[in-house]
């Protein structure tokens, strides 16, 4: 419990994110600079907060004792993730402006010593999910600059060039939209990507770009984590017949035969489930778009059923308007 340490006081910190230092000596925090004044609640569980948002900074919290050191101002208005290098000397931060435009969604790199200069990437790629493999930093990046303007693409794998913080594309043959990168002790990386309406886990060797698929998931898979030596992995997965459970695999090669270790949702999985159908359409610009249609249990093909539309990235990420309730 980070709020139990006698720091500035740490209980006064509005902690947004934290990441452990590799040697276990403490954590790096993204936290607010000032105490948030409490305003009266209204409408039950809805709470009014003052504006503009509080400024944030990066801190190091040492264990034991809870001494806290301010490292630098947060490089973004909205900090989204932290990643400490294996040697504990560098910190990668991703985030964006409050409006989350692509020209503000970058990677910031700083050394873990107070007063060190913070450097930032500058491009039209939306960067997220940083991971370190030895001294190399990798990110998932969506979009690209074309003729000086942003062009949407699926998320790809990039290495951050330490000299100029430019992005170097890795494994261009990696298919689908990259969701997560997980480093392994041998220097390879597990990449989770969405391909069509399924998901895939691919082992990538960054130096050569070599790829090997280690799991195909008909459904969804997320939150993959690896033990320090990479001998055991855990993730959350679900499919059309099973609600999400936690799975464990013995090493990357065991991902295909990973076993569930929880049955939290077994009762739900025994209930009548919808029939699932993959649908596709032309987006009007020459690209095929795919979606998933969930039919009510036992009612596939019926006419006049109410339809709820869940927009990917919507409504704020969509151009134009769409109704959330239609009739088929």
Kindly report, residue by residue over 151-168, the tens digit of the pLDDT: 888 999 999 999 999 999
Q: What stretches of 76-135 adopt beta strand conformation (E)?
A: 78-84, 90-96, 106-111, 119-120, 126-133
pLDDT tens-digit series, residues 34-47: 655 555 555 566 66
pTM for this entry: 0.83
pLDDT tens-digit series, residues 52-107: 666 789 999 998 888 989 899 999 999 999 999 999 999 999 999 887 788 889 99
Q: What is the pLDDT of residue 177?
A: 94
In percent, the amount of the chain with pLDDT more than 90 equals 60
* Preceding peptide of 52 cis, ω within 30°: yes
Q: What is the pLDDT of residue 182?
A: 97
How big is the chain, counted in residues? Answer: 328
Distance CA 20, CA 114 (A): 18
- CB of 138 closer than 8 Å to CB of 160: yes
State mean pLDDT over 267-279: 92
* Residue whose structure tokens are 């900074």: 57
- CB of 124 closer than 8 Å to CB of 150: yes
Q: What is the pLDDT of residue 148?
A: 79
Of 146-150, 172-176, 317-321, where does the model show the most confidence? 172-176
* Among 253, 225, 220, CA closest to 237: 220
Q: When comparing pLDDT for 204 and 323, which is higher?
A: 204
* Among 168, 102, 178, CA closest to 137: 168
Distance CA 255, CA 235 (A): 10
| 224-241 as b/e: b if 16+ CB within 10 A | bebeeebeebebbbbbee
pLDDT surpasses 50 at 281: yes
pLDDT tens-digit series, residues 1-48: 444 443 444 445 578 799 999 999 999 999 887 655 555 555 566 666
Quote the tokens at residue 161.
Answer: 């060039």
Query: SS3 string of 26-69?
Result: EEEEEEECCCCCCCCECCCCCECCCCCCCCEEEEEEECCCCCEE
Q: What is the pLDDT of residue 83?
A: 97
* Among 253, 262, 213, CA closest to 233: 253
Q: Is 8 exposed, middle or buried (0-12, 13-18, 19+ CB in 10 A)?
A: middle
Point out which residues pair with 27 in neighbouring strands.
20, 61
Distance CA 57, CA 91 (A): 13
Q: What is the pLDDT of residue 242?
A: 93
- Strand pairing report for 90-96 and 78-84: antiparallel
Q: What is the pLDDT of residue 326?
A: 34
Q: What is the pLDDT of residue 73?
A: 92
**Distance (Å) of CA 119 to CA 24, 98, 125, 168, 241:** 26, 20, 16, 17, 47
Q: When comparing pLDDT for 285 and 304, which is higher?
A: 304
Q: What is the pLDDT of residue 318?
A: 43
- Maximal C-alpha separation, the chain: 65
Give 141's contacts (C-beta < 8 A, 6+ positions apart).
125, 126, 127, 128, 155, 156, 157, 158, 167
């Amino acid at each position: 419990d980070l709020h139990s340490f006698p720091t500035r006081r740490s209980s006064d910190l509005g902690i947004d994110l934290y990441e452990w230092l590799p040697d276990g000596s403490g954590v790096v925090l993204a936290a607010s600079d000032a105490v948030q004044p409490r305003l009266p609640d209204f409408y039950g569980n809805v709470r009014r907060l003052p504006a503009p948002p509080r400024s944030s900074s990066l801190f190091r919290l040492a264990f034991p004792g809870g001494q806290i050191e301010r490292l630098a101002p947060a490089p973004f208005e909205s900090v989204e993730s932290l990643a400490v290098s294996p040697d504990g000397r560098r910190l990668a931060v991703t985030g964006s402006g409050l409006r989350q435009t692509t020209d503000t969604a970058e990677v910031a790199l700083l050394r873990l010593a107070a007063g060190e200069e913070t450097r930032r990437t500058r491009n039209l790629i939306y960067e997220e999910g940083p991971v370190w493999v030895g001294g190399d930093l990798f990110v998932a990046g969506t979009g690209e600059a074309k003729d000086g303007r942003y062009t949407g693409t699926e998320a790809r794998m990039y290495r951050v060039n330490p000299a100029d913080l430019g992005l170097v594309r890795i494994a261009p043959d990696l298919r689908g939209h990259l969701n997560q990168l997980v480093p392994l002790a041998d220097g390879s990386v597990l990449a989770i990507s969405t391909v069509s309406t399924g998901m895939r886990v691919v082992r990538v060797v960054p130096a050569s770009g070599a790829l090997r698929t280690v799991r195909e998931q008909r459904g969804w898979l997320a939150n993959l984590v690896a033990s320090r030596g990479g001998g055991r992995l855990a993730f959350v997965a679900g499919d059309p017949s099973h609600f999400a459970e936690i799975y464990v695999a013995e090493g990357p090669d065991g991902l295909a035969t990973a076993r569930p270790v929880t049955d939290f949702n077994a009762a739900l999985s025994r209930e009548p489930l919808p029939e699932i159908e993959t649908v596709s359409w032309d987006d009007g610009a020459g690209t095929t778009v795919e979606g998933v249609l969930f039919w009510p249990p036992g009612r596939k093909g019926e006419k006049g059923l109410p339809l709820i539309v869940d927009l990917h990235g919507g409504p704020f990420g969509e151009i134009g308007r769409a109704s959330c309730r239609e009739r088929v």
